[in-house]
Amino acid sequence: MGLPPREEPRSEQLHAPIVRLAARALADKNIPVVEYGQQVQYRGGDPMVLLLVEWAVPDELLSFSSQVLSKYGFSRVPPSTKVTDRYGPWERGCIVHKHKLDESSPIYLYPLSFVGLALQDTVKVTSTFDRTLPILTPKPPMYMVSLLRHLLYHPVNDSFRLRVIDDLLSFISFYILRDKPLNTKEVGWEDEESEEDFQQRLEEAVLEMKSWDWGASREEYLCIAESVVRDCRSIYQLSNC
């Protein structure tokens, strides 16, 4: 059984009313939606503002899901010519929708196979954008496996890896190690955690991670997962290419 998220989202995001409309439109059509990217990091404890909405749906429902969004005012738009290297390869792998009332917050709609997940890799939670709606989120071990696979299957100089590295570092920091956000409000604030205390926290995190249900992926990926948690610098060179 996969572990649940650490906690439910702490507050609504600024663009929630518009995104809520899209989430409800898909839910009304009984389309299983899996949250991805920033939503997963936010749910895991990363105090970020969700500027990009990323959802994944079963491959066979991708076209239908896009039609539903278009019907509810979320127009399909071509990939941006100004998109950064960080998201460029990902934007080209999805269908992008924007609402005329909030074009600054695009919705990236991926086929599940593109993000490396399946429905059985997810668990039902409350939507970040509508507390009355359920949504699917990746089970922690399966999410980590999907990120590791992305890195292993792409060479170290491939821009596809950039956002994957960011996502994995956030997941390790806030979900696995339970790091606290930096205190930017106090001048001269310093982290008072000793090296000994950190090492103890690290060992406890690794022990908990080993207790996860990794399924068939345990033998192949648990060792890699432990290695990158113990030394995050190794993430940058992790590749089978």
pLDDT digits (tens, 9 = 90+) for 141-199: 999 999 999 999 999 999 999 999 999 999 999 999 998 765 444 555 456 778 888 89
CA-to-CA distance for 107 and 102, rounded, in angstroms?
Answer: 11
pLDDT at position 51: 80
pTM for the model = 0.88
pLDDT at position 78: 86
Backbone angles phi and psi of 11, in degrees to 5: -160, 160
The model's confidence at residue 16, banded by pLDDT at 50, 70 and 90, is: low
The model's confidence at residue 4, banded by pLDDT at 50, 70 and 90, is: very low
Q: Which residue has the higher pLDDT, 49 or 34?
A: 34
Inter-residue contact 140 to 175 (CB < 8 Å) = yes
Please list, residue by residue across 91-119, b when 16 or more beta carbons sit within 10 angstroms of its beta carbon and e when fewer do: beebbbbbbeeeeebbbbbbbbeebbbee
CA-to-CA distance for 138 and 140, rounded, in angstroms?
Answer: 6
Nearest CA to 137 out of 117, 157, 153, 107 is that of 117
Q: What is the pLDDT of residues 221-231, one digit of tens each?
A: 999 999 999 99
Mean of the per-residue pLDDT values of the chain: 88
Q: Which residue has the higher pLDDT, 9 or 52?
A: 52
The model's confidence at residue 63, banded by pLDDT at 50, 70 and 90, is: very high
Query: If you average pLDDT over residues 98-116, what whole number do you get?
Result: 87
> 39-53, 70-84, 132-146, 179-193 — which is least confidently predicted?
179-193
72, pLDDT greater than 80: yes
> 29-38, 74-83, 151-160, 230-239 — which is least confidently predicted?
74-83
pLDDT at position 1: 39
Query: If you average pLDDT over residues 83-107, what whole number do you get?
Result: 81
Domains in the chain: ranges and CATH = 16-138 (3.30.460), 143-180+197-237 (no CATH)
Q: Which residue has the higher pLDDT, 83 or 132?
A: 132
Inter-residue contact 77 to 39 (CB < 8 Å) = no
